[in-house]
Chain A
Amino acid sequence: MYDVVIIGGGPAGLSAALGAKKKGCSNILIIERSEKLGGILNQCIHNGFGLHTFKEELTGPEYAYRYIKMVEKEEIPFLLNTTVLSISPHSVTYINEEEGVRTIETKAIVLAMGCRERPRGALNIPGDRPSGIFSAGTAQYLTNIEGKMPGKRVVILGSGDIGLIMARRMTLEGAKVLAVVELMPYSSGLKRNIVQCLDDFSIPLLLSHTVTKIEGRKRVERITVSAVDEKRKPIPGTEITYDADTLLLSVGLLPENELSRKAGITLSPVTGGPIVDNSFQTDSDGIFACGNVLHVHDLVDYVSNEAEKAGESAALYALSDRKPSKKKIPVSVFGLARYTVPEMIDEDTKEDTTIRFRVSNVKKDGKITVRVNGEEVISKKKRIMAPGEMETLIIPKRILEKYEIIESIEVGTED
């Protein structure tokens, strides 16, 4: 019988394991599908990781290396090349070449499977179906891990961070990036990436544009983009056609929750991740979630921080007979806030609660407000909020303790 089994050996899984260990768990197992620990960080060779966690700028592989060394130092066991087939409260079934199919018992489970890229099929771009169309993450894998160039003349659809990073990467490997095309009137990528990945190399960013035609028999030959109106419909007559051999798609990330769904865990329709309380426990007893499987983050530093907490909670659950109180207060949103994680707060919580959320639109000179039983308890001025940047706020336990009975907690934005 394990104390805590962690599914996924990326940044969330590694940090969750260290959190569980810190709280005194000795019987922990990390299960990783690929041949290496570190997850997506292994292919994110650019720098900018770790400013919060280590107070220095590291590349993805360096950030992963530090966590892997910590896990090795703590002698936390892990399985590689092992795929989890199913989970249920207190048991995990996996498959690998050595053991075949095996079911293990565990007191607690931490879901840390990460996310995957939104595929082309979800987008319905008209045109031919030639080779030369890649998700940005696949192009990143080919370039950085396999040492193969996906193409020479490139158009990128979507200005999320991976798309921006790949615009620079392809340029540095000798390709010509013709344009980055964004449907929305703003980029969902970080400002520094727009400056350092596009402006530095004079790569045009076409906002309020989309790809309207893909041409090519065997390989992509031409890509046409058009401006879109406020309803995101292409405007005839605005077409620009590029002689391109490659289209990269950076059109969003989706938490990878097949296992959670099969186990009957309730997922949020907004984040695509499990609904959790402030201990990161899902609505399935003893199953916790953290990292990008819970909701997509911008910074790995936030993933590590959140996952450590989830690992600690899983350990406390595994090591004590105390079951958390059944009374949980839902957190609702208003204004531009789209969702919160956690979605519920344990009424008897003994700790400050960190709330993370995203807004649905750019907001200048607004406020973040928290209300308990309809009464305003926190109001924080924000000069700018944007969909691409996750907001974080802490509800101190002393605020919640003041209330005998809490009926509602609301988090949102105001003018």
Chain B
Amino acid sequence: MERFELTCIGCPLGCLMTVEKNGDEINVKGNTCLNGERYAKEEVTAPKRILTQSVRVRDGVDKMCSVKTSAPIPKDMIIKASETIREKTVDAPIEIGKIIISNICDTGVDVIATREVRKKA
């Protein structure tokens, strides 16, 4: 059996929760609502996060273009994905939503632009 200590992010109450995981059976204690239980179960089975970062731009009016993963990716892939994004340079123009890196680190998720960058005149 595994035990985890978590702080709920659902509301400012920030309940301290203890989660016991025994195979498929998950027990949550310390939560005060159902949202807390749902969050705790997801956190101990498959925690995921949206990754936001920025990439360098060539020939753009801006030097950098902000990007995000188009869906949450597994938490343990965040650092590896951030290292890949850090190395990337993109040519202007860039439209908002444009795919900057497809299938980042084989997660099946794309990295997309969150701003438009026009080409330098």
Give A residues with C-beta under 8 Å from B: 42, 45-47, 57-62, 65, 143-147, 172-174, 190-192, 194-196, 199-200, 383-386, 388-389
Q: Is the CB of A388 within 8 A of B86?
A: no
Interface residue? B18 (CB, 8 A): no
Within the assembled complex, what's the spacing in Å between the Cα atoms of A42 and B117? 12
Within the assembled complex, what's the spacing in Å between the Cα atoms of A61 and B62? 13
Q: Is the CB of A146 within 8 A of B64?
A: yes
Q: Is the CB of A191 within 8 A of B49?
A: no
Contact residues in B for A192 (Cβ distance below 8 Å):
9
Q: Is the CB of A147 within 8 A of B7?
A: no
Interface centre among A65, A191, A383, A386 (most CB of B within 10 A): A191
Q: Is the CB of A45 within 8 A of B14?
A: no
Contact residues in A for B8 (Cβ distance below 8 Å):
191
Contact residues in A for B66 (Cβ distance below 8 Å):
45, 59-61, 144
Interface residue? B78 (CB, 8 A): yes
Known: A61-B115, A146-B63, A199-B7. A45 touches B52 (CB 8 A): yes
**Closest chain A residue to B75, Cβ basis:** A200
Within the assembled complex, what's the spacing in Å between the Cα atoms of A385 and B49? 27
**Closest chain B residue to A385, Cβ basis:** B12
Contact residues in A for B121 (Cβ distance below 8 Å):
none
Q: Is the CB of B52 within 8 A of A59?
A: yes
Within the assembled complex, what's the spacing in Å between the Cα atoms of A357 and B78? 37
Q: Is the CB of A195 within 8 A of B9?
A: yes
Contact residues in B for A199 (Cβ distance below 8 Å):
7
Contact residues in A for B62 (Cβ distance below 8 Å):
145
Say which residue of B13, B50, B96, B115 sits within 8 Å of A47 (CB atoms): B50
Within the assembled complex, what's the spacing in Å between the Cα atoms of A54 and B21? 36
Contact residues in A for B31 (Cβ distance below 8 Å):
none
Contact residues in A for B51 (Cβ distance below 8 Å):
172
Contact residues in B for A58 (Cβ distance below 8 Å):
114
